[in-house]
Amino acid sequence: MTSTKEFLEAEQHFLTGENFYLHHLLGCQFADGSYTFRVWAPNAQQVWLQGDFNQWDDSMPMNKRDSGIWEISVDQDIKGQLYKYKIRQADGTECMKFDPMAIRYEARPNNAAEVYHLPAKKWKDGLWKGRQKRSNFFKRPMNIYEVHAGSWKRHADGTAYTFSELAEELIPYLVEMHYTHVEFMPLTEHPLAASWGYQTTGYFALAHEYGTPEEFQDFVEQCHLNNIGVFMDWVPGHFCVNYDALAYYDGTPTYEYQEEWRAKNIRWGALNFDLGKPQVQSFILSSAMFWLETFHLDGIRVDAVSNMIYRDYDEGEWHPNHEGGNRNLEGYYFLQKMNAVIKLAHPEVVMIAEESSADTKVTGMIETGALGFDYKWNMGWMNDILKFYEMDPVYRKYHFNLATFSFMYMFNENFILSLSHDEVVHGKKSLMHKMWGDRYKQFAHLRNMYTFQIAHPGKKLLFMGSEWGQFLEWKYAEGLEWRDLQDDMNAKMQHFTKVLNQLYHDERSLWELDDENTTIEFIDADNSEDSVLSFIRRGKTKKDFLIFVINFAPVERKDFVIGVPYAGEYEELLNTEMAEFGGTWVKPNAPMTAEKKAYKDFHYQIQTIVPSLGALIIKPKKVNVRSK
């Protein structure tokens, strides 16, 4: 704060839920050679600042303002020293609490904050940022590689890579594999590695094990210089129950709901933020703005939205709202406010929701009653398609709707088709291990499924290790099974994913009209008997389209008839059963010439061979778009 007036305005905005830069008011502030500490504990009887600089004693009592903020200034050089707050709570008990606003903590299991001043960075990603502001991400490719930063690779001694080390290895890998974005599971400070970061304590701090904030800034910058966008998972609905962190901070419900049944999250052993409390709104929204602006993030994926918008989402007791329904009105309106605030400041930022119900419109304009997100994870598609691929193919014709049902609602929201970390843990098996059949067929299924994912309208996400078909489940405390790539089948699977990603990036018909129903035209969505699905993906021009033929059965289909829209020549662009990908085909299908013969809604048809458990992508080579 540069003046008393600005300070008072910031303090008042905090109390009304309109301070979106709380990190400039609370926490440890450095100015004019002095450090000022401020913490919100409205019902505390007394607060002391304790740290290395005063031998952790009671010599620095803090002063309370009418706002419930306690403050004290320290006129000495204490950079790098550790500190906490000793709080005499509302009932008179005393405890040590961390600083909720700290931007760096000591290594866990300890959680004292470090006096840390993050200097302004001279960013070099101006061209990237400018392109993002000018472009429409709905009309651009989005192929996301989901990463747990602590287990993509680990050192021999078991320690995680820092972001400086990830910059050297992960960024070139993203470029090589043709991903457009990387999405990190939560990077915020957390006390238990087994929570993967979803049980957050420090909402303004990079987890200590991942290096310094400056290292993460440099990592994001390098991603942008290599045309890679960076997303981060973020958890604004619930927080860790640790007594020395946010939980009942001053001895009373401070960040959590007043009613115990609303505050307590039974399913996750957490506490739910009181999303209707103005000060809490300022805290959460400031966390979002801090990450977006300090680290130039391109988007945020908001975790567990259902828990924020339904009063009965958790287990145990619940009570209807004043309208008699199950909607958490505070959470609903907070999320609308959050998206409005972020979009007003940064319209180019991508806001993604992980939300599992269909009862609330998640994406779209707030004015229509939607929550205002840009994208929603398509959990329904993920569940259906995995169930389908796990099934013995002999039964698939009786459950063909599992493969096609998502087409009924694919434009109800703006979707991301996610094959995420949630599907490869807790005994669910890896994606590779889920696939039906022997090892050869499992790889064939995996290539088939990834092709279907790329073909289906919606943006894409794949969890790390799945790109080469890691057989073992993901383990958060170990690196991925990179030794798998010494096996020829795994190496060919990785090569296939790389080729498929490049194809997705290059073919405009796969993303140019992704949010419009004109992007897809079905050839035959009812061939359950053969378990073959065929459809067209279209771009803006008539000649720009791809034909997908996906065979879900272990039976080769010879002389297979495919309806096409125009006369002319067609050629095979990709065959998932080629030997270079791990299949048995040594040469592709021959080019096809359309015959003027009706097939369903089409006036022309071509014939080709569709491999067992294979998928074909066919592209027009020379067609007459005026033909009928």
For each of the domains in the chain, give its residue range(s) and CATH number, in order of start: 2-113 (2.60.40.10), 139-234+273-508 (3.20.20.80), 518-621 (2.60.40.1180)
Instruction: Give φ, ψ of 149 to 5 degrees.
Output: -60, -30
Mean pLDDT, rounded, for 552-557: 97
pLDDT higher than threshold 90 for residue 177: yes
Given pLDDT bands bounded at 50, 70 and 90, which one contains residue 32? confident
Given pLDDT bands bounded at 50, 70 and 90, which one contains residue 501? very high
Can you give the pLDDT at residue 627? Answer: 72
Question: Is the bond into 42 cis (omega within 30 degrees of 0)?
Answer: no
| Active-site residue, selected from the candidate residues 233, 298, 354, 374 | 354
| Active-site residue, selected from the candidate residues 189, 221, 303, 577 | 303
Cα(81)–Cα(60) distance, rounded to whole angstroms?
Answer: 15
The pTM for the full model equals 0.97
Can you give the pLDDT at residue 2? Answer: 64
Residue 113 pairs in a beta bridge with 83, 105
**Residue 354 falls in the annotated catalytic set:** yes
Can you give the pLDDT at residue 89? Answer: 96
Query: pLDDT digits over 294-330, tens only?
Result: 999 999 999 999 999 999 999 999 999 999 999 999 9
Given pLDDT bands bounded at 50, 70 and 90, which one contains residue 507? very high
Mean pLDDT, rounded, for 149-163: 96
What is the three-state SS of 492-557? HHHHHHHHHHHHHHHCHHHCCCCCCHHHEEEEECCCCCCCEEEEEEECCCCCCEEEEEEECCCCCE
Given pLDDT bands bounded at 50, 70 and 90, which one contains residue 174? very high
Can you give the pLDDT at residue 626? Answer: 83
Query: pLDDT digits over 182-219, tens only?
Result: 999 999 999 999 999 999 999 999 999 999 999 999 99
Mean pLDDT, rounded, for 163-177: 98
3-state DSSP call for residue 460?
strand
Decide the pairing of beta strands 181-184 and 143-147.
parallel
Helix (H) or strand (E) holding 340: helix 329-345
Can you give the pLDDT at residue 491? Answer: 98
Can you give the pLDDT at residue 3? Answer: 79
Beta carbons within 8 Å of 84's beta carbon, 6+ residues apart: 50, 51, 96, 97, 98, 99, 112, 113, 244
**Residue 423 falls in the annotated catalytic set:** no
